[in-house]
Structure 1
Amino acid sequence: MKFGAAIRRHTAAVRAMVVFTIILGIAYPLMVTGIAQLAFKNKANGSLITDASGQVVGSSLLCQQYVDKNGDALAQYFQARPSNASGGPTDPGCNYTLSGGGNRGTNDPTLKDTIRGRIDAYAKAYSIDPAKVPEDAVTASGSGEDPGISVENADYQAPSVAKARNLDLSVVRKAIKENTDGRNLGFLGEEYVNVVTLNLALDKNHPVAAAG
């Protein structure tokens, strides 16, 4: 009798495992995937973006580098925030090989020197007072792959981009506004400009000859 009871208990456990495997391992993932594809297809597939020809060129969630063959920033493009590998506008961020935070404290002399160098480089590149350099222009995001910059940062870069593309500044500022995302739920976080979609829009509407 004891042996039979043990067999029944083990059989019940096996049946429960099979049932929950089907429900939680197959049915539930398929249901969630189906809902995501129906209601949030673009986000579920990685928020991919395409160029004018319809070719996928990246994701709106990940920054890209806009540099010449020497690795220097191209003036006709807006630049993302620096990464742990970059020093400023002429040494662009978005380095996927060094993704993540630097984990340096505010009293770290290396961090201070890095930030000071980025401030000087940004101020020189965009002809502004070093005291006015936006914080996000000289500090890396947590991932180092953030495509968003502050509106202030974009506004300071705008004259350089307009000049390189031979455009009126108002045209570039309009593109900035069209690629600015508001606060989450209307009050969380800050507005930010998506550099990837902004540069893609400029290339689509105001193309320039390829450089580097």
Structure 2
Amino acid sequence: MLNLLRPALTLVVAMTAFTGLIYPLAVYGIAQAVMPGRANGSLIERNGIVVGSVLIGQNFMDHRYFWSRPSATIPQPYNAAASSGSNLGTTSVKLKDRVRADVAHLIQTGIAQPVSADAVTTSGSGLDPHVSPAFAESQVARVARARGLQPAAVAALVAQQTENPTFGIIGEARVNVLELNLALDALKM
């Protein structure tokens, strides 16, 4: 019996050490050496203070800023510890009511119509930091008015911050809302 137990225990200890310690430390070391910014969460700092991550949306509500798409994380929007979709299907009355209310609110605040789909729908993770160029452009007049800027200057900033599809074919054009708002803050009034 001991002849069977000893190799099994040795294998369990060796695999635990390899998969639980050696391999993770090796991957961590390689990531820190090759791409430390990404390995540490793609954080954005301003004046030595972390203001967010390129990978996680934020809940901008002030009219002076571009708004993100809705977040599905509950109870706090854009809570990375609660990443998930809403699990509400297209026939859900709760989803339809929320979308109607969001559309009405956006129209009331002056968002150009038609309202972009990503303005009222959540992403699969509930944390998407990007909006479509159409949603960003529909907010230009509101943001320019709130900041006392020329709409053309704000629209040019949106165009400058628009990212093309990855490798020109993967995904769609998109605008990172945090980076856009930081560039907006840096814009001279």
Scaled by the length of structure 2, the TM-score of the pair is 0.84
> Which amino acid letter does the alignment assign opposite residue 10 of structure 2?
R
- Is 1:65 matched with 2:48? no
- Once the two structures are TM-superposed, the CA of residue 147 in structure 1 deviates from its matched residue by 1.4
**2:63 aligned residue:** 75
- Which segment drifts farther, 190-199 or 99-108? 99-108
- Distance change (3 Å), C-alpha of 1:19 and 1:99: closer
> Which amino acid letter does the alignment assign opposite residue 116 of structure 2?
P
Select which of 102, 117, 124 maps to 2:86. 102
> Which amino acid letter does the alignment assign opposite residue 63 of structure 1?
G
- Which segment drifts farther, 190-199 or 57-66? 57-66
Aligned-partner Cα distance in 2 for 1:103–1:145: 14
**1:188 aligned residue:** 170
**2:127 aligned residue:** 145
- Is 1:125 matched with 2:103? no
**1:210 aligned residue:** none
Structure 2, unmatched stretches of 5+, are none
Q: In the comparison of the two structures, how many residue pairs are matched?
A: 187
> Which amino acid letter does the alignment assign opposite residue 141 of structure 2?
P
Contact map agreement 1:165 1:206 (CA 8 A) in 2 = no
Identity of aligned residues (%): 39
Contact map agreement 2:84 2:126 (CA 8 A) in 1 = yes
- Once the two structures are TM-superposed, the CA of residue 43 in structure 1 deviates from its matched residue by 1.3
Aligned-partner Cα distance in 2 for 1:60–1:41: 14
Contact map agreement 2:58 2:178 (CA 8 A) in 1 = yes
**1:177 aligned residue:** 159
Deviations 1:147-192 (CA, angstroms, capped at 9, x unpaired):
1110000001012112222222232223223332222332122111
Deviations 1:71-115 (CA, angstroms, capped at 9, x unpaired):
xx31110001123589xxxxxx93539853332222233322322
- Once the two structures are TM-superposed, the CA of residue 193 in structure 1 deviates from its matched residue by 0.7
- Once the two structures are TM-superposed, the CA of residue 61 in structure 1 deviates from its matched residue by 1.3
Structure 1, unmatched stretches of 5+, are 1-5, 67-72, 87-92, 208-212
Aligned-partner Cα distance in 1 for 2:15–2:85: 40
Contact map agreement 1:80 1:94 (CA 8 A) in 2 = no
Scaled by the length of structure 1, the TM-score of the pair is 0.76
Contact map agreement 1:83 1:99 (CA 8 A) in 2 = no
Contact map agreement 1:101 1:144 (CA 8 A) in 2 = yes
